[in-house]
Structure 1
Amino acid sequence: MSATDVPAFSIDDPATVADPYPAFAQMRAAGRPVWNDGLGMWLAFRHADANAVLRDRSLGRVWRARVPEDAWETFNWLHADALLENEPPKHTRLRRLVAAAFARGNIDARRPRIQELCADLLDGCASKLAETGSFDAIADYAEPLPVLVIADLLGVPDDEIGPLRPWSQAIVKMYEYDRTPEDDRLAEVACREFAAYVAELVERRRVEPGDDLVTHLAQVEAEGERLTAHELAATVVLLLNAGHEATVNGFGNGLVALMDHRDQWDRVVADPWGLAATAVEEMLRYDTPSALFERTALADVEIGGATIREGQRIAALLGSANRDPEVFSDADSFDVGRDPNPHIAFGAGIHFCLGGPLARLEMQQSLPMLAERFPSLELTGTPVKRSTFVLRGYDTVTVTA
């Protein structure tokens, strides 16, 4: 396909937002990254190209402070001091300190607690089902679970969990490209309130340390270095945002796929724990919750035959890469037993999602427990999609059993 043959691609197109996969297939056919005037950046749609974008050290995260800076003060430092927005050597230092705290927290040890939370939420779903004949798989199950898990991991008391999800949703809206001034205002308000809460929680944990991640982050030291106050707050906010957004959307997207492919749901019901691992990976691949991850060229670099000039941006289209038929056989089919499954839903390289293992653990418990509790689960009505492109998910998925 020549440069003049490349079809137009717009993330503002409602049809593309609703179902981007036909457009992704057209763009992959170009055989290389494509420049997009609307976004002012290169877009990498093929698996090989997107993977290269994530791994090539000539491409990095370059934080650009929002202006006017006095209006964006908290938002700016929360991102400038966050692991996700930094490159080595600062990224190396932050990741070493955070990884040490994670190791002390022992993610896998949360398995029994996750199962306990799932059971409690499923009891609530059963009650709603008995009362009304249906429940919302997002609001009643997929959404509260990861918030409860990450709050438990961080050491947030149960009676203080309420604002976490709204704060997170307001902040991650800033990753979209169709924001309104009101979205911007709400994001900065959320940043200020969230940062103030984290600072207060850290001070409490310094006085009364617990076996939680905030305590460990406040105490952790590596090679004589510790997290600064801003770095600690930025890390906690990032962990909350990244630690549950992907899980909520990944589970919701995957559940809709399972409901739309009844033969695959029946396979999960027949062997819920045996298929849990491969089914979760396929849920993440088939309708990837994070569609796009952006990098900036630190020097001229060639990706898939396209030259990205220093200072230009390029985005890896993760959802497109995960449907690339050059890597996945029957890429548009949904197969809960797919193996191997080299998707890049959690990214790759040094910015591989720190919360990925926790998200996998949550989904590998919540899916089989749902299948065991409600084997005849089915949709009632049409699921309501979120109207966002970068973070793909559903607002409502009403089900019955």
Structure 2
Amino acid sequence: MSVTAAPLDLTDPAVVADPYPSFARAREAAPVQWHEGLQLWLAFTHAEANAVLRDRRLGRIWRDKEPAGRFGQFNLIHRNAILEMEPPEHTRLRRLISAAFARGHVERLRPWVQQLADRMVDELLERSGGTEPVDILSGMAEQLPVEVIAELLGVPEADRPLLRPWSNAIVKMYEYGRTADVEDAAERAAGEFVEYLRGLAAQRRTALGEDLLSHLVSTRDADGDKLTEDELVTTCILLLNAGHEATVNVSGNGLLALLEHPDQLQRLREDPALLPTAIEELMRFDSPLQLFERTATEDVELGGITIERGQKIAALLGSANHDPAVFPDPETLDVGRTDNPHISFGAGIHFCIGAPLARVELQASFGALLGRTTRLELGRPARRRPEFVIRGLADLPVVLTR
């Protein structure tokens, strides 16, 4: 195979802090390049990354982490996940999950989500008083999606503080260069999360409610098929891990981008009707998920190279979303950008099933922040988390004025 050394080190602090200049250099070199350290191909351009997500010859092929005895619960929640399977298993599972979602859960929650966002912003205003910086991440961005998904699933309020630590520990397994301690914490969190959800599902079977978990428990298709208990548990964990992490990081990355582009922040204040387009632009401008792997099930020609059967290729979503061949002036934040085919929610059969819910949450939180304040100002420099794949902030100190 023709090998080009990819011009970036995903563990380099400078790349983690700002990968986009490295992406730009790589796109100019070649659309698809081999990364010797990761032993996979990387797709840098929008066309090739989009093809990686859509080409049915490039699949999500789950292989248990080894040794299997050490990662039993982590493997269980991925082996049964819709994100880690291909048709026909994927088709069956998505049909059942979509049937449960189709009962109007997102629209049912919309007014409640807005009230929650308004209340959280009011609490931040009380603490800030126009002079003191408060952390938007811990004070709102991290809390709101957990509360929403917990409400969606019908998790009792007393148990909700358990969810985010479990999610945080599990998703660190997706990073490169992780330590044994990180892996052990992920396995413990997976085990505790699985055990908790088995108990909650058992309660729903004896007393169904109007929440999504009840509908996932009771949904059957025309042939009488239903989710197995492992599929049910895995689906709930995926909703929290994928939906929650993405929403938190769009909130943090997006608000920081607006604070660093005060003209766009003011434009959004003056024209709140731009909010839906602004959310899409914030997702494009600094993507919450940077890398998504696929495996070739046969030899595939892409970007002038051959991906051999069994080899992995990753779509670099942030690089694709900054491709000047698709996005005019891609390094410019434009909250009114209407032609915006970003792939932050994925593409093809693995397009994010929770995208409508994420958009409701983001429109509510940004709408509350802009509508209930006259000024938002960075209190001190934000700190970024030291991971590349899931891109987000460690804190975001902001001064808010009522």
TM-score (norm 2): 0.97
Q: How does 1:370-385 map to 2 (within 5 A)?
A: 370-385=369-384
Separation in structure 2 between the aligned mates of residue 172 and residue 6 of structure 1, nearest angstrom: 28
Contact 2:6 2:33 (C-alpha < 8 Å) held by counterparts = no
Q: Structure 1: which 4+ aligned runs deviate by more than 2 Å?
A: 3-8
Q: Which residue of 2 aligns with 1:233?
A: 233
Aligned position for 1:81:
80
**Equivalent position of 1:138 in the other structure:** 137
Q: Could you tell me whether the CA contact under 8 Å between 1:7 and 1:26 is conserved in 2?
A: no
Q: CA deviation at 1:134?
A: 2.2
Root mean square deviation, CA, Å: 1.3
Helix, strand or coil at the partner of 1:299? coil
Aligned equivalents of 1:38, 1:7: Cα separation in 2 = 9
- Mapped to 2, the partners of 1:149 and 1:106 lie a distance apart of 11
Structure 2 partner of 1:151 = 150
Give the alignment of 1:2-401 within 5 angstroms: 8-130=7-129, 133-222=132-221, 223-272=223-272, 274-401=273-400
Using the TM superposition, give the Cα deviation of residue 83 of structure 1 relative to its aligned residue in structure 2, in angstroms: 0.5
**33-42 or 134-143, larger mean C-alpha shift:** 134-143
Q: Distance in 2 between matches of 1:306 and 1:375?
A: 53
1:6–1:27 contact (8 Å) kept in structure 2: no
Contact 1:280–1:364 at 8 Å: present in 2 too? yes
Aligned-partner residue type, residue 89 of structure 1:
P
Q: Aligned in 2, Cα 1:54/1:170: closer, same or farther, shift over 3 Å?
A: same
Partner deviation per Cα, 1:87-139 (whole Å, 9 max, x = no partner): 01110010000000001143122110101111121121112113972211111
Q: Distance in 2 between matches of 1:165 and 1:12?
A: 25
Give the 3 Å change call, closer, same or farther, for CA 6–77 of structure 1 in structure 2: closer
Does the 8 Å CA contact 1:53/1:315 hold for their aligned counterparts? yes
* Residues 47-106 of structure 1, C-alpha deviations (whole Å, 9 max, x = no match): 000000000000000111112211111111110001000001110010000000001143
Q: SS in structure 2 opposite 1:93? A: helix
Asked whether the 8 Å contact 1:105–1:211 carries over to 2, the reply is: no
Instruction: State, as a whole percentage, how many aligned pairs show the same letter.
Output: 53
Letter in 2 for 1:366: S
Q: Which amino acid in the other structure matches residue 185 of structure 1?
A: D
Q: Which amino acid aligns with 2:193?
A: F
Partner of 1:199, secondary structure, is: helix
Conservation of the 8 A alpha-carbon contact between 2:105 and 2:152 = no
Question: Residues 168, 226 of structure 1: CA spacing in aligned structure 2 closer, same or farther, 3 A cutoff?
Answer: same
- How many Å separate the matches in 2 of 1:124 and 1:20? 34
Q: Give the unaligned 5+ runs of structure 1.
A: none
Distance 1:376 1:105 in 2: 36
From the superposition, tell whether residues 232 and 369 of structure 1 become closer, same or farther in structure 2 (CA, over 3 Å).
same
Question: Is the Cα–Cα contact under 8 Å of residues 50 and 317 in structure 1 kept in the other structure?
Answer: yes
Q: Aligned-pair distance for 1:365?
A: 1.5
CA distance in 2, matches of 1:348, 1:282: 17
Q: What whole-Å deviation, never above 9, does each CA across 1:117-170 have from its counterpart, x for those lacking one?
A: 111211211121139722111110111000000100011011110110000010
Q: Which amino acid aligns with 1:86?
A: M
Three-state SS of the structure 2 residue aligned to 1:316 is strand
- Give the paired residue count: 398
Partner Cα distance (1:206, 1:55) in 2: 37
For residue 334 of structure 1, give the secondary structure of its aligned residue in structure 2.
coil
Q: CA deviation at 1:12?
A: 1.3
Q: Contact 1:282 / 1:334 at 8 angstroms: preserved in 2?
A: yes
1: distance between equivalents of 2:208 and 2:374?
A: 43
Deviations 1:172-206 (A, max 9, x none): 11110121100000000000000000000001111
Moved more, 47-56 or 127-136: 127-136
Counterparts of 2:282 and 2:31, CA distance in 1: 26
- 1:200-236 deviation per Cα after TM superposition (whole angstroms, max 9, x unaligned): 0001111121110110000001122100111110111
Letter in 2 for 1:243: G
How far off is 1:7 after superposition?
Answer: 5.7
Give 1:289's aligned amino acid. Answer: P
Q: For 2:68 and 2:341, how far apart are their aligned partners in 1?
A: 41
2:394 match: secondary structure: strand
State the SS of the aligned residue for 2:188.
Answer: helix
